[in-house]
Structure 1
Amino acid sequence: MSWFFLSLAFLVLNTTNADNPLWIEEIEELPEFSAQSVSRSADKVYRLPENVVPLEYDIFIDLYFAERIDRPFSFDGREFIVIQATEENVTNIVLHSNVDSINSITLLSDNGETVNLNLIEPYTLEPQYHFLRINLQQAMDLGRNYTLYIDYSNSMNDGPMKRGIWKGWYTDDEGVERIYAATHFQPYNARQAFPCWDEPLFKAVFKLHLSKPSSYIGTYSNTGIENTDTLENNRTRDNFLESPKMSSYLVTFLVSESFKVIASNTSFTPAIRIVGRSNTAGLGDHALDLTVKMTEYFDDYFKIPYSSLHPNLLNDHISSPDWASAGTENWGMVSYRELYLIIDPRETIMSVEHYATTLVSHELAHKWFGNLITCFWWSNTWINEGFASYFGYIAAHQMFPQYDLHEHFNSRYLQTSLNFDSGVTTVPLNHDVNSPAQVTGHFGTISYSKGAAFLRMLGDMITPGTFQKACQYFLLNNPYEATDQYDLYDAFAKAIDEDRTLNEYSNFNFTDFYRIWVNEAGYPLLTVEVNYITGEMALTQERFFLSASAGTTDQIYPIPITYSSKAKPDFTNLTASYMLTSKQAIIQKEAADEWVIFNNQQHGHYRVNYDVKTWNLISEALLNDPESIHYLNRAQIVNDVFALMRANKLTYRFGFHIIKFLRNEINYHVWNPAISGYTWLRNRLRHLPESQATFDSYLLSYMDYVINTLGYEPASNESVTITLTRQEVLHFACTLGHEICIQNSRDKFISMRDQGAWVDPRIRRHVYIAGVRQGGQQDFEFLLNRYRNSNFANDQLEILRALGATRDPQLLTRYLEFTLDKAVRSHDKATSFNYALLGNPENAHTVLQFVKNNINAIRVAYVEEAPPNPVHTALSNLAAYLDEAGLVEYQEWLRSTQTNTAQFNSAISAISSARNNMAWGTANVDMILNAARDGATNVMMSTLLISIMAVIAVFL
């Protein structure tokens, strides 16, 4: 699943999952690595007791749309659940329920006799925990089958943000608006559709029966339709085949009037189908190619073909106009946000196409990792999401090498994890969670990014072949069961022992390696000091914290050591030459005055710092012979240097000296962390516009070479990575005020506006933004009209990004008001709000007035109760863009009108953080500018010299 799936390569403002948990718990200490050392049945108030388990569900749901006058967009449900008691003397059956009303409850024994409920209080509801507690007059018999019957009613949610069963909308071929019903249950929202044991542990067989108006013929679920009943009042009921044994969150369906199969491959069993609204017919071929090839890959890799998982499972992939996350792995029917499944080379920007490839691979990997086996509880979310994220890039690269996904793994996951996991409150991969908010928070960077990075590091250590064998053991030993970190450990330990792939490392214990990396937070900083006379390299490790005031810990991480030197540039060797399991060690190389770089291709989950001489040798090589160092290690150096500067491990002057080679760099992987690092510094100078402008001029001087080399026009045969580089570099350059970039973009926009010229989607982002930012009302109206008439979610999102860049306060207010409109889908609303802040520095004051005047409407339209907390995000982000006067006004408004609201504390905290950032910028601005100027001097002189020579040439 991609909640975020999310999200995870984008900035916080662009993510779709909760990558920033607001909760902190003590890290559980595991003195011994054994299943017995941690109880699986720990007392947790939000957790269900395990004394009753479900075996089978037979669920009848009657869906009503606008035709029901008294309760439009609602549903009635009846379910029969076969259950068993697993303990003696069970007199209470506890399950989850979050529906409007429970109408009746009956319990029958296996001989059909009614089991009496408590006469005084047959059942109780505990809304805080979503518990339905059924009270019996007599105890259940151990191991005997009972049938629990529940009749209930509920309403559809308006849009996908609150999940459960919800209604969305689309426009059909005739321009008529249609309403459809869909479900999104992960991680704890099946209880909104039917009372159930809504934890991943409780696996059961599900059989659905859906009734709806007869005009709703586009109906899909996990399994195929067994038969259809004709009912009264022009209604029909589709009866679906039973599912495999699975967790409740994997149940799904979609009911519509005109969704249909828009692409299919019938050579597979089951057929692989892409399903979307009728007016996307012909636009599903790219998605079909992705799903076909990735199904082939996983069938071969796991040696458990998809067709063998269950005879009733479908292999459908739903393109949904509304969807709260990027995609969700419901078994047999994966649902995606339409943005990522409807791909058209004339309309889709490359970063979306690129991500879509990994997303489809991610969701298909879940069929095995997540669905066939499932994490025991959401504390082990990383078992589901880490594997799916790993395969999303590493496996997809095998089938789609044109995207270079194995190399983009670093910026997408490895560097994202290093950046996030360096805080003092970060949590380990295996982290105990309890409440719904904690569960939601664990679907974030640690589970997705660190989980994937840990698995790649592990695969390098034990070899890809042993890694594959371990995956197969894990799946074959635990099919249709809930699993935990111990089951996974057993599979890897068995494969490693059989293949003896770690035997060459003396004094290395795989059990300790696994226990520490899974159950301890953070990661190490490796400090390397080279003795150039003897060739000895002294290695020291410590836990890395981004905050210089965080102190230190005694934590020791097992680190797989790889390195290259000038004499032996062995960057492609990803097998560890040494395992560092102590705080300090010395390893030997040939004595020579040469650079040495640790962590080949940045595959290890750690950072590296060096002594001054080694850094200078690296810097000299980067500047004079950059190709002698692998570009992923050049990217690693940039990523590490920015982090080391922030942590006061390197001075900014020295750090900028090391990365001054960027003025001659054109590689995407190197520029991606550079732009992130520069953006972090720019944001701390926002309140000092003159200083920020000076800093920007230095940055633009660094970028002359990459801009001129890439150019402004995509080539027909250029690589995907070159396209991504141009998109990112020109978007940043236009933001910094690069005049040629702005003028070129503006010219293209005007040609599109006045002459209908097509703008290549590979450069569309900065063209749209510059067109609106440098334009006026005519340009705004043109793009807004284009939004209303577009059939492509991708283009609509780019238009929203651009509209938020207008400099006109009245137009910006219109744009913000537009985000409250239905035309902006609920999953795009908070993102669109953030685009207004990103669009121009001066926009923040207008956004503040909009918030003050429309806060209640924002809470409704943005769906305040949604698990990702979109209103919290919007109000917190606003603080980061205000100057001191704006912060004073904002704080006064919050204290005078919002003290009792859910967002008050987080918004006040964001104001404090904003002031801290400004204070840091004020205190360090001279140091930053001096450091940046030193790196820019030569290139600025070179640029000036080129200009002078060009003028001279005119007169010769």
Structure 2
Amino acid sequence: MGKVYYISKNVGLGLLVLGVSALATIIALSIAYDKEKAKNQGRPGDGAADSTSMPTPPATLFTPKEPWDRYRLPDSLVPVSYNVTLWPRLEPNADGLYIFTGHSAVVFKCVKETDLIIIHSNKLNLTNFHGHLAKLSGLDEVTAPTIQKSWLVVKTEFLVLQLRSRLAVGATYVLYIEFQGELADDLEGFYRSEYTEDGVKKVVATSQMQATYARKTFPCFDEPAMKAVFSVTIIHKRGTVALSNGREIDGVIDGMPVKVTTFEPTERMSTYLLAFIVSDFVSIQSNQNNNLLIRIWARKKAIDDRQGDYALNVTGPILQFYERYYNATYPLSKSDQIALPDFNAGAMENWGLVTYRETALLYDPIVSSTGNKERVTTVIAHELAHMWFGNLVTLRWWNDLWLNEGFASYVEYLGADYAEPTWDMKDQIILYDMYKAFAVDALASSHPLSCREEEVNDPAQISEMFNTISYNKGAAVLRMLSEFLTEPVFARGLSSYLNTFAFDNTEYTDLWDHLQKAVENTPGIHIPHTVHDIMNRWTLQMGFPVVTIDTRTGILPYPLFTEVFEHVIVCVCCFFQALSVINRAQIIDDAFNLARAKIISTTLALTTTKYLSKEKDYIPWESVLRNLNYYILMFDRTEVYGALQAYLKKQIQPLFEHFRTITANWTRVPSGHTDQYNQINAIGIACSMGVRGCRELIRGWYRQWMETPNHNPIHPNLKSTVYCSAIAFGGTEEWDFAWMKFKNTTVASEASRLRAAMACTKTPWLLNRYLEYTLDPTKIRKQDATSTIQYIAQNVVGLPLAWNFIRARWSYIFQQYGKGSFSFSSLISGITKRFSTEFELQELKKFKEDNLHVGFGSATLALEQAIEKTTANIKWVTENKAQVLKWFTEASK
């Protein structure tokens, strides 16, 4: 007989609720997949590749006839190494342009007989050598064919060389090219960043190669599987420093007023991981990790103000954690991380030289908040995770991007938890990844984690892969895989995968092979199916799995389920403290998912929030607020909002008073990490819902700052909430003060929250003026333009203004920001969140029709999802408005 365990009544109740909660999750997540499956009857199922298509793209007239008409490189040539020299000019030329010049020699091997050389090149002016755009020579006494003709193909971004005879299989050749490009401010390839320090304009030459921008810097085989060794030389102005992936090995000053810096050859790597930077930045460094050189680079003012210290302190421990976790030594001789004033992404994992937005790397010990500190930790952990997973071992093509980004999005929580063990970081993946993935994957316009190679070809399609599914669902699925295999088995399989394929390329199924071997080699571990079979159902089809349960037949009728869930909700509201914070949050989220799937009523889901007046923990409150945010978006322009506001005021007031008490009337900071976040929730919601004393508190703090501009009395944790609320309740004077502080601050996190807060004003002309500022890079940096428009659209007053703004200027906005940027899609999704009327749906469809000739680039899928979401919102509001109004009215009494 097995062991017998006795449990208390409360624990038993908790276990019962947990079991039903898990069931609720499974059923809720199955609904979208059920609907999608019904649409796809007749297709192969259960992981068959034919069932995994992304939405069919619109047909085009373009049919490739020649190899250079296709977006993918032919497989006849393989690069071995590059020797690249770049010279960026940090002053404009006579035409007012900033340029860079350079030359490159790529050594490549012929693996299939061909009379063509096709290599990527985009927006570069190439030197003409006797009528041709390159020189070709052979190595090891090989005679190179002569070039018959050469030309550039703009559409597919290729340089093509037609040879008079064929290259020999197995022979090695050298292609030499000289080029000139513009060091533009477009945040792509080798580009220009500008900032002002002590009244002096400074220029930085920096880079962003992912996904397809290395070809804008020098001609190259610009696909992730085309790995090579890179030897880099940078010519730059004296008084500046040059950085690249390798460690600098020589800096020579010749007769000209320039410095020539050469770098150690890189390991074998992909072009999208290259980085080149010239600046007058300074650094702080550490050599504690087995004499590994770790440096943090930033503007001198930022380093002098010790804004880089925290990043330096956590980088070493995080690298040490990953070395143990992967069972693989950090593969490079140095680890540079640099904070850039202009950077489109949050950060980029360039091997050995990671680039960041300033807000993602710099932490001011006086001005920055706990949230800023957490962001620095998690972003560093994410990027350093890539040094092995993604950089050392790289996926062959962008259709499997999810594994690269999903993996880093999962293990960033492990790395951050190691660096800051008191923060309970592992719990937060539920809020920041899993819930976010559910919302998108419930849409018919979602897509599988992994899709076929031929579905991802041109740069816009590649950029579209950088989305919620790849990052958030990828993280949640890999977390699930690690949990059911157990973390030690998962780590052993991962280590085997990384060491086997070091400096090479893989497909995602290679990881499954190594995880399966780890399972088979671990005594006592047994899974009923192979890792392949289990994971195919998660990666090769969109939506959620279908699970039906019954004690006898395997079916649980929905009416019975509803009755059971009603009892669960009652138990939660009497006995909530018997459950962990994660499970309380999960039950709330399950209830709202079930309501959206029409398994339980909307009002039953709302009932889960009735106990909140007793809830003090952050994660359940955050779950509620994220779910109720949908109700706010749907109803804040209708009569429902008054009743909703009265109800939420009733629920938030005890939390507001709780924090007033434990902070001694707002004079102390809560000790717990997540308690600090919940204090922000308490003040922000209390003020927006009209809790007595809150708005006066906010106005007083902000007015005190306005009266003493050099002394800010507002605690960093509360600044975002206070700034936004004070500007919303204020007028022109409050807005102009924020703008003045925004223009003058030298702390990026402070500038970021002021930029967001200025979008909170309820004054239309101020919002319209602010929208115009987004098109002027001297006022709002290009990297911040689209997010600023989204902030304005989040404001109920700003929504129609922002919508009119982008419709009127779509062609310009698309040309400036939309062709390849993988953050551009959020502009469409952000602006259309509130759309819930037939009129708005027709406007959205007309916007699509009117701009087909312009295009939507990486926002194409986002636009389809916006139309789908708006249609669903209309239906939901029609079905639920009356009962929701009645429920909030009665519950607020």
> Shorter-chain TM-score category?
0.7 to 0.9
**1:364 positional shift:** 0.7
Does 1:517 find its partner at 2:541?
no
Assess if the C-alpha contact under 8 Å between 2:837 and 2:870 holds in 1: no
**1:662 positional shift:** 2.6
2:236 to 212, 220, 228: 212
Does 1:808 find its partner at 2:828?
no
Instruction: Give the letter for the 1:230 counterpart.
Output: I
Tell me the alpha carbon deviations over residues 582-611 of structure 1, each in whole angstroms, 9 at most, x when there is no partner: xx9xxxxxxxxxxxxxxxxxxxxxxx9972
Instruction: Please give the residue correspondences for 1:789-828 in structure 2 after superposition, counting only pairs within 5 Å.
Output: 789-821=744-776, 822-828=778-784
Instruction: Give the letter for the 2:821 counterpart.
Output: P
Tell me the alpha carbon deviations over residues 318-355 of structure 1, each in whole angstroms, 9 at most, x when there is no partner: 11111111111001111111011111243223223222
Assess if the C-alpha contact under 8 Å between 2:289 and 2:320 holds in 1: no
Please state whether the residue corresponding to 2:775 is helix, strand or coil.
coil
Does 1:623 find its partner at 2:573?
yes
Does 1:188 find its partner at 2:138?
no
Aligned position for 1:234: 257
2:599 to 649, 669, 678: 649
Instruction: Please give the residue correspondences for 1:477-876 in structure 2 after superposition, counting only pairs within 5 Å.
Output: 477-503=500-526, 507-524=528-545, 526=547, 536=551, 611-688=561-638, 690-711=639-660, 713=666, 715-716=668-669, 718-755=671-708, 756-821=711-776, 822-839=778-795, 841-847=796-802, 850=805, 858=813, 863-868=817-822, 870=824, 874=827
Does 1:72 find its partner at 2:110?
no
**1:714 positional shift:** 6.7
Aligned position for 2:314: 290
**1:900 positional shift:** 4.3
Q: TM-score, normalised by structure 2?
A: 0.85
Distance (whole Å) between structure 1 residues aligned to residue 852 and residue 400 of structure 2: 36
Change (3 A) 1:435 1:30: farther
Assess if the C-alpha contact under 8 Å between 1:879 and 1:907 holds in 2: no
**1:616 positional shift:** 2.9
**1:248 positional shift:** 0.6
Distance (whole Å) between structure 2 residues aligned to residue 137 and residue 679 of structure 1: 66
Assess if the C-alpha contact under 8 Å between 1:891 and 1:908 holds in 2: no
Change (3 A) 1:537 1:468: farther
Distance (whole Å) between structure 2 residues aligned to residue 526 and residue 286 of structure 1: 46
Distance (whole Å) between structure 2 residues aligned to residue 72 and residue 26 of structure 1: 57
Please state whether the residue corresponding to 1:182 is helix, strand or coil.
strand
Change (3 A) 1:739 1:807: farther
Change (3 A) 1:380 1:96: same
Assess if the C-alpha contact under 8 Å between 1:631 and 1:667 holds in 2: yes
Distance (whole Å) between structure 2 residues aligned to residue 192 and residue 384 of structure 1: 24
- Bigger helix share: 2
Assess if the C-alpha contact under 8 Å between 2:48 and 2:540 holds in 1: no
Please state whether the residue corresponding to 1:181 is helix, strand or coil.
strand
Change (3 A) 1:875 1:526: closer
Distance (whole Å) between structure 1 residues aligned to residue 441 and residue 835 of structure 2: 28
Aligned position for 1:85: 110
Assess if the C-alpha contact under 8 Å between 1:685 and 1:922 holds in 2: no
**1:880 positional shift:** 5.1
Change (3 A) 1:269 1:700: same
Tell me the alpha carbon deviations over residues 872-927 of structure 1, each in whole angstroms, 9 at most, x when there is no partner: 75466545557979959978996998674335998799589657635642442111
Change (3 A) 1:358 1:797: same
**1:473 positional shift:** 0.3
Aligned position for 2:493: 470
**1:795 positional shift:** 0.9
Aligned position for 1:202: 226
Distance (whole Å) between structure 2 residues aligned to residue 886 and residue 355 of structure 1: 39
2:169 to 134, 142, 147: 142
Instruction: Give the letter for the 1:656 counterpart.
Output: L
Aligned position for 2:395: 375
- Unaligned 5+ segments in structure 2 are 1-38, 54-66, 128-132
**1:389 positional shift:** 1.2
Change (3 A) 1:758 1:613: same
Instruction: Please give the residue correspondences for 1:11-30 in structure 2 after superposition, counting only pairs within 5 Å.
Output: none
Aligned position for 1:261: 283
Change (3 A) 1:60 1:494: same
Distance (whole Å) between structure 1 residues aligned to residue 138 and residue 839 of structure 2: 66
**1:475 positional shift:** 0.8
Please state whether the residue corresponding to 2:224 is helix, strand or coil.
coil
Aligned position for 1:321: 341
Change (3 A) 1:204 1:537: farther
Instruction: Give the letter for the 2:89 counterpart.
Output: Y
Tell me the alpha carbon deviations over residues 493-517 of structure 1, each in whole angstroms, 9 at most, x when there is no partner: 11100004542x5x44433113322
1:251 to 271, 274, 278: 274
Tell me the alpha carbon deviations over residues 252-284 of structure 1, each in whole angstroms, 9 at most, x when there is no partner: 01101x201035445543211111011112211
Does 1:917 find its partner at 2:873?
yes
Distance (whole Å) between structure 2 residues aligned to residue 766 and residue 266 of structure 1: 39
Assess if the C-alpha contact under 8 Å between 2:829 and 2:866 holds in 1: yes
Assess if the C-alpha contact under 8 Å between 2:137 and 2:175 holds in 1: yes
Instruction: Please give the residue correspondences for 1:386-465 in structure 2 after superposition, counting only pairs within 5 Å.
Output: 386-432=406-452, 433-465=456-488
Tell me the alpha carbon deviations over residues 730-776 of structure 1, each in whole angstroms, 9 at most, x when there is no partner: 32343344443322211111111113442101111111012111112
Distance (whole Å) between structure 1 residues aligned to residue 787 and residue 247 of structure 2: 36
Distance (whole Å) between structure 2 residues aligned to residue 226 and residue 93 of structure 1: 33
Distance (whole Å) between structure 1 residues aligned to residue 96 and residue 617 of structure 2: 58
Distance (whole Å) between structure 1 residues aligned to residue 745 and residue 596 of structure 2: 44
**1:815 positional shift:** 2.2
Distance (whole Å) between structure 1 residues aligned to residue 338 and residue 837 of structure 2: 47
Change (3 A) 1:512 1:890: closer
Instruction: Give the letter for the 1:404 counterpart.
Output: D
Change (3 A) 1:259 1:623: same
Please state whether the residue corresponding to 1:57 is helix, strand or coil.
strand
Change (3 A) 1:537 1:730: farther
Distance (whole Å) between structure 1 residues aligned to residue 431 and residue 559 of structure 2: 19
Change (3 A) 1:739 1:218: farther
Distance (whole Å) between structure 1 residues aligned to residue 830 and residue 793 of structure 2: 8
Identity of aligned residues (%): 25
Please state whether the residue corresponding to 1:198 is helix, strand or coil.
coil
**1:426 positional shift:** 2.2
Instruction: Give the letter for the 1:917 counterpart.
Output: N
- Unaligned 5+ segments in structure 1 are 1-23, 530-535, 542-583, 585-607, 941-956
Please state whether the residue corresponding to 2:363 is helix, strand or coil.
coil
Distance (whole Å) between structure 2 residues aligned to residue 297 and residue 442 of structure 1: 29
Does 1:108 find its partner at 2:137?
yes
